[in-house]
Amino acid sequence: MIRILVVVTVQDVDTSEGSEELAAIRTLLERHVQLTDSAWGARLLEGFEHFMFNFRVVRPRIDKEAMKQGGTIQKVPLKVVG
């Protein structure tokens, strides 16, 4: 078995007007609904202004300052929650 360890940060989505993050989420949802005819995806799109606050952005995290000082990056197992 191969284990891959990734350090990430989980952040709220930028919900400001003109947000690129929200635009990307909406585009992905539209594509998903188009390809799968997902009723849940369509519901998310219909109520996007309400549901947008439930999305999170997951990004890799690198503590550059710690690395400069010879530190190591804390590793945690990546889990998919369904």
24-45 pLDDT, tens digit per residue, is 999 999 999 999 999 999 999 9
The residues of the chain scoring below 50 in pLDDT are 78-82
Q: Tokens standing for 70?
A: 């010879």
| 17 contact partners, CB below 8 Å, separation of at least 6 | none
Q: Are 49 and 42 in contact (CB under 8 A)?
A: no
Within a 13 Å sphere around the CA of 46, how many CA atoms are in the beta-carbon half? 6
Q: What is the pTM of this model?
A: 0.64
